[in-house]
Copies of this chain bind each other. A is one copy, B any other.
Amino acid sequence: MTTINKNYLKLPGSYLFSTIGKKVREYEAAHPDAKVISLGIGDVTQPIAPAILDALHAAVDEMGTAEGFHGYAPDLGYAFLRETIARHDFQERGCDIAPDEIFISDGAKCDCSNIQEIFGTDNTIAVCDPVYPVYVDSNVMAGRTGEYDEAGERFHGVVYMPCGPENNFVPELPEGEAPDLIYLCFPNNPTGAVITKPELQKWVDYAKKNGSVILYDAAYEAFISEEGIPHSIYECEGAKECAIEFRSFSKTAGFTGLRLGFTVIPKALKPEGADLHGLWARRHGTKYNGAPYIIQRAGEAVYSEKGRAQIRQQIAHYMENAGIISEGLKEAGYEASGGVNAPYIWLKTPDGMTSWEFFDHLLEKANIVGTPGSGFGPHGEHFFRLTAFGSRENTLEAIDRIKTM
């Protein structure tokens, strides 16, 4: 008799953004005239940049010729893309990362949920609280946590590291026994907070001292606008011996609908002498078949001179939105942070409302969709996330509505 993976049953409700989507669809069905503006899910809205479109068209044309046709991609990605990434994202920043330490994939969500597979189920995990739900949920599914504690809104066996205004949303080093796998995400989703290089160095030193592995999600590095904020964990000394880094083209270049990301596993990363690079290569070879050729060519175009100029403009546009939201919220009397080195604005809900109460309030009173902070963890309660990815028009209108709500 077939049995199911009972770990799935530990997960409460559905995935956060599926729940939000359902609530919004229900609201829209009941209020067909409402013009709902979503500043909720972190999805981009600007069209793909011209230099990238050109690369896509050219690659599609290639696929239509016998000489230019590309079948199965190399397991770990095309050399042209891996080399481009190694040069621009790492070597030019002084990080000694080689092309063959880079694994191309169809996105950081897949990578950061699949990475746990190469680790033992006996590892303890630590996450920031609040946190992108995928880190915890993928570990729940794999049986690396205990049951869900309804009252505490947390899984037993997971080390939650509180992040709030009191620590500028950067967690303190855990006390007691060191966790084995430490998920860090900076610039942070959902809080928009960043970590300085000396602060990140402390984490690297801690991981090295304790034999922990840091799983570093740098999906938002392109939004960093201030000096002194590391774009990669490999800017820290010794990080190659203790850290895996995830990157994404989704927010950097509007690839949420094209799907492209990559993971860096340095060959020097050998906990217990184990070859994590080799294990991940084996996983890729066995369970994955590469990102589409045309998408990898699009990824390459992101680094071209034209591509970089166009992407910079897009990011600047979103960050102007972030400024509009941050300023508008402050004018409307809200406490808010983020939005300077990240496309997320993290606001304190007014009048002691819970995050979901504020979600309903905002949807009903202003027809605006945001993301309840409590969906990211217990310390996200009484907070709320807005994103800068809307159109300018929608962003301005949303802020007007919030001000007059």
A-to-B contact residues, CB < 8 Å: 1-6, 8, 11, 14-15, 17-18, 41, 43-48, 50, 53, 56-57, 60-61, 63-66, 68-73, 75, 106-107, 109-110, 113-114, 117-123, 133-134, 137-138, 141, 180-181, 210-213, 254, 256-259, 271-272, 274, 276, 279, 282-283, 285-295, 391
Contact = CB atoms under 8 A, between A and B. Distances in A.
Contacts of A109: 287-289
A141 B284 CA distance: 12
B18 A47 contact: no
Contact of A8 (B3, B14, B118, B210): B118
27 contacts: A2-B211, A2-B271, A2-B272, A3-B119, A3-B122, A3-B123, A4-B274, A5-B118, A5-B279, A15-B282, A46-B66, A46-B69, A48-B60, A50-B64, A53-B63, A53-B64, A56-B60, A70-B257, A71-B256, A72-B257, A73-B257, A109-B289, A110-B287, A141-B283, A141-B286, A259-B290, A294-B294
B141 A4 contact: no
Given A1-B272, A4-B279, A120-B6, A259 B292 contact: yes
A113 B122 CA distance: 23
A55 to B, nearest CB: 10
Given A2-B119, A6-B120, A57-B60, 6 more contacts: A3-B120, A8-B279, A17-B285, A53-B60, A66-B391, A294-B294
A110 B289 contact: yes
Contacts of A117: 5, 141
B75 A114 contact: no
Given A4-B120, A72-B256, A272-B1, A292 B292 contact: yes
Copies in the complex: 2
Given A41-B72, A256-B71, A5 B120 contact: yes
B141 A69 contact: no
B213 A2 contact: yes
A8 B48 CA distance: 39
A121 B8 CA distance: 13
In the complex, the 4 A-B pairs of residues with the closest C-beta atoms, listed nearest first: A3-B120, A43-B71, A113-B287, A1-B211
B123 A285 contact: no
A64 B48 contact: yes
A136 to B, nearest CB: 10
Contact of A66 (B41, B47, B106, B211): B47
Contacts of A64: 47-48, 50, 53
A4 B269 CA distance: 12
A289 B260 CA distance: 10
A119 B6 CA distance: 8
Contacts of A211: 1-2
B287 A134 contact: yes
B119 A286 contact: no
B72 A43 contact: yes
Contacts of A71: 43-45, 254, 256-257
Contacts of A119: 2-5
Contacts of A110: 287-289
A9 to B, nearest CB: 9
Nearest to A298: B60
A15 B286 contact: yes
Given A272-B2, A279-B4, A18 B287 contact: no
A226 B316 CA distance: 59
Nearest to A112: B287
Contact of A271 (B4, B47, B73, B134): B4
